[in-house]
Amino acid sequence: MIHSIAIHDLVKPSASIPVLDVRTPAEFTHGHIPGASNLPLFSNEERAKVGTTYKQESREAAILLGFDLTGSKWSGFIRQALEIAPQKKVAVHCWRGGMRSGAMAWALNLYGFEVFVLAGGYKRYRRWVLQQFEAPYKLWTIGGMTGSGKTRILQQLGSMGQQVIDLEDLARHRGSAYGTMNKLVQPSQEQFENNLSHQLNQLDRDRKIWVEDESLNIGKCNIPRPLWDQMQSADLFELQTRAEQRVQALVQEYGSLDKTFLSECTDRIRKRLGSEQTKNALTAIQEDRMEDFIRIVLVYYDKTYRKGLNSRKAGRIFPVDIRTDDPTANASQMLMTAKDFSPLPTT
């Protein structure tokens, strides 16, 4: 049987149907529904040929070329679909819910699959993604200067049953000039948005959601502006930590990274750090004086943080005194501070 399925039914948290994306590998890599499997009807080159034929000749000629290109592939498509969905129940989509998904649905149905074709295809899904960022959320933000342990506390809150969104994890970047850690590869902007909307969709909008205070940009990924505006107006719980505690935490996190990587990243913020301080920082890196290096660059990051903090309403900032390196104790302290401010939601 072949059915049509609306995007709201496909993405609801209780849905567990495997999704087959029959677009090209290039389209899939650029952006796809989280959890979907790529079962491309055409290769990147084949899709280009079909598109050219459609524009220069006719729809009928493009269809015939499509059958010529896929003629020997159909048994392989079915075998791959069986590996992905052994229960023989799948959802299928292409860009707009047109010929590619229709052809794949026909073949799978012929074999005995129950097939759900996404109405409007990936294009409709992308519209849904952007709508998620316009929705209102009950956000609490965790702030604090670089090295204060915001990410560790956020993750600990998640393990304690609180609702959290880890934007840096989604962006695969730590949010600074050194944020790739010389190993992280960021997703495309489109995939970042898809992954973020997926996580937001899993949460209860009637409960508080913890997020880390971030700039609009996390590396090459941009937080969608409607959501970022909500983050800026949300109550902020600011971690108060000793400067030396922050230095040691950052030395532990960044001190073992490749010196060439650290030097190149430092040189990229030369204009903001200043020529003299950049020179001192680069020398400290080469001489393996990691504490000195961290102290130098913190001057810039602390200044940037204070500037951002000054744009917030003072009455929406709540200090959280942090005296330990234990994220569990610090997360508990965060919850106590939040409870004093406003009753915590039930978990």
Q: pTM of the prediction?
A: 0.93
Nearest-angstrom CA–CA distance, 16 and 37: 13
Chain centroid to Cα 139, Å, comes to 17
Chain mean pLDDT for the chain: 94
Nearest-angstrom CA–CA distance, 151 and 156: 9
Question: Phi-psi bin for 170: left (phi > 0), alpha (psi -120 to 50), beta?
Answer: alpha
| C-beta separation of 137 from 182 below 8 A | no
Average pLDDT of the segment spanning 13-36: 95
Q: Where, residue-wise, is CATH 3.40.50 in the chain?
A: 136-341
Domain 2-130 -> CATH class: alpha beta
**In this predicted model, what pLDDT tens digit does every residue of 241-271 receive, in sequence order?**
999 999 999 999 999 999 999 999 999 999 9
| C-beta separation of 233 from 317 below 8 A | no
| C-beta separation of 327 from 151 below 8 A | no
Q: Where, residue-wise, is CATH 3.40.250.10 in the chain?
A: 2-130
Fold (topology level) of 136-341: Rossmann fold (3.40.50)
Banded model confidence at residue 190, pLDDT cuts 50, 70, 90: very high
Average pLDDT of the segment spanning 155-180: 96
**In this predicted model, what pLDDT tens digit does every residue of 84-97 receive, in sequence order?**
999 999 999 999 98
Residue 58 main-chain phi, psi, to 5 deg: -165, 170
Average pLDDT of the segment spanning 317-343: 87
Model pLDDT, residue 342? 59
Active site residues: 94
On the question of pLDDT at 321 being above 60, the answer is yes
Residue 306 main-chain phi, psi, to 5 deg: -60, -40
155 CB-near residues (< 8 Å, 6+ apart): 164, 166, 327
Percent of the chain with pLDDT over 70: 98
On the question of pLDDT at 121 being above 60, the answer is yes
